[in-house]
A and B are shown apart, each in its own frame.
Chain A
């Protein structure tokens, strides 16, 4: 079970969180003209990366905040966590 540092609550066990996918995907603007190809990339297509990966988690059984977590998908090492409004650098 992972040990994730919620930027609001501190170190908590994984069972308080739920996974939310790739944190680098940006939703197209409302009303934006967008091709089928680009829309499909936004909705469906994700890379299954090995290594460092920025992903979203929600601290569901805690503060309910969505957070950004940089995790190594192979080793599970967590390097950094950010609040929803903090930019991935």
Chain B
């Protein structure tokens, strides 16, 4: 296959290296250095997709990030990615891409019927039309819109690629490597500043790659190359291509996405696909250049209508002709540069210039080359459906209101230039108050909020000499203030062609009797008529007009449409553009892949995994693990074919009858030391702490200031001024912050230190009637009798040579102990417990059995202490000291908290003693009551009581105190269950608490 639109010579591509690729199933080839767009154009492919709303044919409009049309679905190495701009995607061997927004194919698209229905699809169409009947939305409208709309399909497969995040600090961050970026980076680097220079494209140099200029004795490109190679050698400079700074955030934090592997057939081993840089810069120099804006005319979205700068770039960088009969439609000198380039490559262009008698060096050159120039001429409409075939052109009056007679001329592309719009996105994102520059008909950066300055074309400076001068100076100045060096760079001699003023003309009037669509926003299909409708319907604020018409709301964020939209609104409203104002620019500047944003925090890496020192023992013994916050805890230990239910029942039963051991390392532990430690505890816990003797533990509940229970746990007095606090696994970090808050800010006079020791201790709970026997074997030299170590007692012991802390505390309600050793001995301790416990039938138990044991005992845990309950609700009111004040006490006397029929914890048993009760179910009086059925309470936790061998649940129930013995219904609409139940005491087992003291 020949590349009929590839020039014989020229361009920056590597013609020695052919690359084959596929588009819509057909094979093509291009060269190394091509983009998908340049390679397709070289092959004569101009139809690339369909538009979003009307499904009109779409070609190429730009040559880079500003591209609104050429969006494809990309296939690379077994993965697929939507929303890829063909103008940005570099070609690699084996690349495959498909059109989006068309079904069944790009050439025959069913959705194109929208094009003929377009009178029914005006601005606000979706808001107005799909509102009724309501039932149609889910079944008919929504699925249809989903199928017809969208810009590609996200893969539902797991992304195998790796994405990294990097944090960086620098003196100067420079965004863009055109003339201003290179000059400022160079002078700043010479002063020794730490510089990061970011270039979005694969090639450095920006406009220097396409303009005919000389700097010093070199061409623009040669100069750029030499500066880049010098910068690359400097250790204080980081220079990155394929790297787009897309967001400017607070305190000079900018985010850049570096596309490391997207241009390769597959990602190299150990390389990420993309890397996201978080850059904190002392100073930011925005050198993002400008984007050519179109002139609006009829059917200006036809494939073959494109920006004149893009046509030039395709020739100069890729050696590709966008057409062989080009029409250049311009209101300024830039169009002439494109025409000259066409002429140099042996193609005869026609220039239509809206200006009457413009004169400049460039125009003179075009005339000398015998280029056909028609002054005061405009394109009225493009003709052709899938590709431009001809153009209707006409003379235009001096006041630009009246069209002369329309004539039709043949052409295969229309290169349009409506002058240049500075790329102010980053400046605007930084909070810069932009201002309108009437000379260039565009907004430029104004007053800075953060440390940023904008250079060159992005600042509305369109001559090279001025740009370079300003950029060398700014780079030097800003770096000098940081490094105190002042190494002046000598300013090179600049040769550039002088241009003359542009014509303030942006939209061609409709000829009489014609109703051509004149598009403003090419990606979202927003035409002049849509804006007119919005304004007629009363929308005034540009922000409202934007949302109603979706102007500038596509993924290209209106890079080519914003200003023309503003011009239109200001013209209709008879206001000046600055009075209309522009909509807010928001990051990202162009779409960023979700993978890059997420980085490596995926799957198992989404949060750290904490494991107890006994983890490998649990693994070896068939533990099935469960996430408990960031911890992995054994849920149950599987024996044979057991399921969760059977295993947890066995484990719990064994605790009630023999003895079990549970890994409780995950409990939060806080070491509290200081002469005022008791006073601190007395203030944070609701009960009294001043008289707790040494070697005694006490259960405590702490509240937030609003009276809600925050956490519970036992705290042990190890010595006079030393306490060991335990918290629930989930609240450990919050409780520590809570204590620090009060110690540092509220009561700094208290002489106390707190520190987390969660990781320092490994813990094992030994529970069950035979636990004392196990303890005796573990600590033969300690007196662990009921007298020697009574309930809530504490002692230190010697566990086969390892120092251990022994607490006689119980969560299971059985006679129980918790043994702590330093973490490194945890595994040793665990093995010893299993070893000496064997003769007593010891079995390890997991969190499921642990829950069963605490639920049937009526001990509260996280599911009751859920941030909505006060002590009374959990039957913990006995722990509220009347004598002293504590955090949250004052709140408990508020009316609702003291109400007579206040909710309270109760037990729930199904009447049939068989049906399990789903957690989260509601309790109601009458299961047949009309909806909404008044809810009396909810099931907080459920288990199979091993003591009674029937289901048992805890519930928080309104007026729970007076509900014992009542018959109610549990309703779970989610599980479609209605269960008649009886309300019982929450203490379903050993209500007097005799076992723990036995």
Scan residues 966-989 of chain B and give those whose CB is less than 8 A from a CB of chain A: none
The interface residues of chain B lying within 8 Å CB-to-CB of A64 are 740
Task: Name the residue of chain B whose CB is nearest to the CB of A28.
Answer: B890
Query: In whole angstroms, how far apart are the Cα atoms of A84 and B741 in the complex?
Result: 9
The interface residues of chain B lying within 8 Å CB-to-CB of A18 are 737
A80 in the interface (beta carbon within 8 A): no
Scan residues 728-779 of chain B and give those whose CB is less than 8 A from a CB of chain A: 737, 740-741, 744-746, 748
Task: Name the residue of chain B whose CB is nearest to the CB of A58.
Answer: B737
Inter-subunit contact A66/B250 (CB<8 Å)? no
> Of A27, A36, A66, which contacts B894 at CB under 8 A?
A36
Inter-subunit contact B744/A65 (CB<8 Å)? yes
The interface residues of chain A lying within 8 Å CB-to-CB of B253 are 1, 3, 13
A20 in the interface (beta carbon within 8 A): yes
A3-B253, A58-B737, A66-B740 known; A75-B745 Cβ under 8 A: no
Chain A 29-45 per-residue mask, 1 if CB under 8 angstroms from chain B, else 0? 01100101001001110
Inter-subunit contact A27/B746 (CB<8 Å)? yes
A89 in the interface (beta carbon within 8 A): no
Task: Name the residue of chain B whose CB is nearest to the CB of A34.
Answer: B890
> Of A34, A36, A56, which contacts B745 at CB under 8 A?
A56
B242 in the interface (beta carbon within 8 A): no
> Of A2, A30, A85, which contacts B251 at CB under 8 A?
A2
Query: In whole angstroms, how far apart are the Cα atoms of A44 and B280 in the complex?
Result: 36
A2-B251, A39-B891 known; A66-B744 Cβ under 8 A: yes
The interface residues of chain B lying within 8 Å CB-to-CB of A42 are 705
Inter-subunit contact B280/A3 (CB<8 Å)? yes
B488 in the interface (beta carbon within 8 A): no
Task: Name the residue of chain B whose CB is nearest to the CB of A23.
Answer: B745
> Of A43, A60, A65, A66, which contacts B891 at CB under 8 A?
A43
Tell me how far the C-beta of A48 lies from the nearest C-beta in chain B, rounded to whole angstroms.
19
The interface residues of chain B lying within 8 Å CB-to-CB of A34 are 890
The interface residues of chain B lying within 8 Å CB-to-CB of A2 are 250-251
Q: Taking each of B740, B744, B746, B885, which has the highest tally of chain A beta carbons within 10 Å of its own beta carbon?
A: B744
A30-B885, A84-B745 known; A60-B737 Cβ under 8 A: yes
Query: In whole angstroms, how far apart are the Cα atoms of A61 and B748 in the complex?
Result: 21
> Of B431, B746, B884, B885, which contacts A75 at CB under 8 A?
B431
B575 in the interface (beta carbon within 8 A): no
Inter-subunit contact B744/A43 (CB<8 Å)? no
Tell me how far the C-beta of B14 lies from the nearest C-beta in chain A, rounded to whole angstroms.
41
Tell me how far the C-beta of B169 lies from the nearest C-beta in chain A, rounded to whole angstroms.
10
Query: In whole angstroms, how far apart are the Cα atoms of A56 and B886 in the complex?
Result: 22
Query: In whole angstroms, how far apart are the Cα atoms of A44 and B884 in the complex?
Result: 23
A27-B746, A84-B748 known; A13-B280 Cβ under 8 A: yes
Scan residues 229-280 of chain B and give those whose CB is less than 8 A from a CB of chain A: 249-253, 278, 280
Scan residues 1-16 of chain A and give those whose CB is less than 8 A from a CB of chain B: 1-3, 13
Contact size class for A? 20 to 34
Inter-subunit contact A1/B249 (CB<8 Å)? yes
A44-B706, A75-B431 known; A1-B683 Cβ under 8 A: no
Inter-subunit contact A76/B250 (CB<8 Å)? yes
Tell me how far the C-beta of B497 lies from the nearest C-beta in chain A, rounded to whole angstroms.
44
Task: Name the residue of chain A whose CB is nearest to the CB of B886.
Answer: A30
The interface residues of chain B lying within 8 Å CB-to-CB of A56 are 745
A1-B251, A3-B251 known; A66-B706 Cβ under 8 A: no
Inter-subunit contact B885/A1 (CB<8 Å)? no
B449 in the interface (beta carbon within 8 A): yes
Inter-subunit contact B890/A39 (CB<8 Å)? yes
Inter-subunit contact B250/A84 (CB<8 Å)? no
The interface residues of chain A lying within 8 Å CB-to-CB of B278 are 1
The interface residues of chain A lying within 8 Å CB-to-CB of B885 are 30-31
The interface residues of chain A lying within 8 Å CB-to-CB of B251 are 1-3, 76, 78
The interface residues of chain A lying within 8 Å CB-to-CB of B167 are 13
Query: In whole angstroms, how far apart are the Cα atoms of A34 and B305 in the complex?
Result: 75
Task: Name the residue of chain A whose CB is nearest to the CB of B431.
Answer: A75
Scan residues 850-899 of chain B and give those whose CB is less than 8 A from a CB of chain A: 884-886, 890-891, 894
Task: Name the residue of chain B whose CB is nearest to the CB of A38.
Answer: B890
The interface residues of chain A lying within 8 Å CB-to-CB of B431 are 75
Inter-subunit contact A58/B449 (CB<8 Å)? no
Chain B 165-179 per-residue mask, 1 if CB under 8 angstroms from chain A, else 0? 001000000000000
Query: In whole angstroms, how far apart are the Cα atoms of A30 and B280 in the complex?
Result: 44
Chain B 126-145 per-residue mask, 1 if CB under 8 angstroms from chain A, else 0? 00000000000000000000
> Of B748, B884, B891, which contacts A85 at CB under 8 A?
B748
Q: Taking each of B249, B744, B745, B891, which has the highest tally of chain A beta carbons within 10 Å of its own beta carbon?
A: B745
Query: In whole angstroms, how far apart are the Cα atoms of A64 and B737 in the complex?
Result: 8
Chain B 673-704 per-residue mask, 1 if CB under 8 angstroms from chain A, else 0? 00000000001000000000000000000000
Scan residues 59-76 of chain A and give those whose CB is less than 8 A from a CB of chain B: 60, 64-66, 75-76
Tell me how far the C-beta of B482 lies from the nearest C-beta in chain A, rounded to whole angstroms.
15
Tell me how far the C-beta of A66 lies from the nearest C-beta in chain B, rounded to whole angstroms.
5
The interface residues of chain A lying within 8 Å CB-to-CB of B741 are 20, 58, 66
Tell me how far the C-beta of B912 lies from the nearest C-beta in chain A, rounded to whole angstroms.
45
Query: In whole angstroms, how far apart are the Cα atoms of A42 and B746 in the complex?
Result: 13
Tell me how far the C-beta of A43 lies from the nearest C-beta in chain B, rounded to whole angstroms.
5
The interface residues of chain A lying within 8 Å CB-to-CB of B280 are 3, 13
The interface residues of chain B lying within 8 Å CB-to-CB of A66 are 740-741, 744-745
Q: Taking each of A18, A65, A66, which has the highest tally of chain B beta carbons within 10 Å of its own beta carbon?
A: A66
The interface residues of chain B lying within 8 Å CB-to-CB of A78 are 251
The interface residues of chain B lying within 8 Å CB-to-CB of A1 are 249-251, 253, 278
Query: In whole angstroms, how far apart are the Cα atoms of A75 and B433 in the complex?
Result: 13
Q: Taking each of A2, A28, A75, A84, which has the highest tally of chain B beta carbons within 10 Å of its own beta carbon?
A: A84
Query: In whole angstroms, how far apart are the Cα atoms of A20 and B740 in the complex?
Result: 12
> Of B706, B740, B746, B890, which contacts A58 at CB under 8 A?
B740
Task: Name the residue of chain B whose CB is nearest to the CB of A26.
Answer: B746
Query: In whole angstroms, how far apart are the Cα atoms of A43 and B703 in the complex?
Result: 13
Tell me how far the C-beta of A19 lies from the nearest C-beta in chain B, rounded to whole angstroms.
11
Task: Name the residue of chain B whose CB is nearest to the CB of A20.
Answer: B741
Inter-subunit contact A75/B449 (CB<8 Å)? yes
The interface residues of chain B lying within 8 Å CB-to-CB of A43 are 705-706, 891
Scan residues 504-519 of chain B and give those whose CB is less than 8 A from a CB of chain A: none
Tell me how far the C-beta of A10 lies from the nearest C-beta in chain B, rounded to whole angstroms.
12
The interface residues of chain B lying within 8 Å CB-to-CB of A30 are 683, 885-886
Query: In whole angstroms, how far apart are the Cα atoms of A76 and B431 in the complex?
Result: 11
The interface residues of chain B lying within 8 Å CB-to-CB of A85 are 744, 748
The interface residues of chain B lying within 8 Å CB-to-CB of A28 are 890
The interface residues of chain A lying within 8 Å CB-to-CB of B890 are 28, 34, 39
The interface residues of chain B lying within 8 Å CB-to-CB of A36 are 894
Query: In whole angstroms, how far apart are the Cα atoms of A17 and B885 in the complex?
Result: 31
Query: In whole angstroms, how far apart are the Cα atoms of A58 and B733 in the complex?
Result: 13
The interface residues of chain A lying within 8 Å CB-to-CB of B744 are 65-66, 84-85
Query: In whole angstroms, how far apart are the Cα atoms of A2 and B744 in the complex?
Result: 23
Scan residues 932-958 of chain B and give those whose CB is less than 8 A from a CB of chain A: none
Query: In whole angstroms, how far apart are the Cα atoms of A30 and B684 in the complex?
Result: 11
Task: Name the residue of chain B whose CB is nearest to the CB of A36.
Answer: B894
Query: In whole angstroms, how far apart are the Cα atoms of A1 and B287 in the complex?
Result: 23
The interface residues of chain A lying within 8 Å CB-to-CB of B706 are 43-44
Tell me how far the C-beta of B208 lies from the nearest C-beta in chain A, rounded to whole angstroms.
34
Query: In whole angstroms, how far apart are the Cα atoms of A2 and B450 in the complex?
Result: 12
Query: In whole angstroms, how far apart are the Cα atoms of A66 and B290 in the complex?
Result: 46
Chain B residues with a Cβ under 8 A of chain A: 167, 249-253, 278, 280, 431, 449, 683, 705-706, 737, 740-741, 744-746, 748, 884-886, 890-891, 894
Top 3 closest pairs, chain A to chain B, by CB: A3-B251, A84-B744, A30-B885
A-B contact pairs, 15 of them (CB 8 A): A1-B250, A2-B250, A3-B250, A13-B253, A20-B741, A30-B885, A42-B705, A43-B705, A58-B741, A60-B737, A75-B449, A78-B251, A84-B744, A84-B748, A85-B744
Chain A residues with a Cβ under 8 A of chain B: 1-3, 13, 18, 20, 27-28, 30-31, 34, 36, 39, 42-44, 56, 58, 60, 64-66, 75-76, 78, 84-85
A31-B885, A39-B890 known, 9 other contacts, Cβ within 8 Å: A3-B250, A3-B253, A13-B253, A13-B280, A27-B705, A27-B746, A43-B705, A78-B251, A84-B744
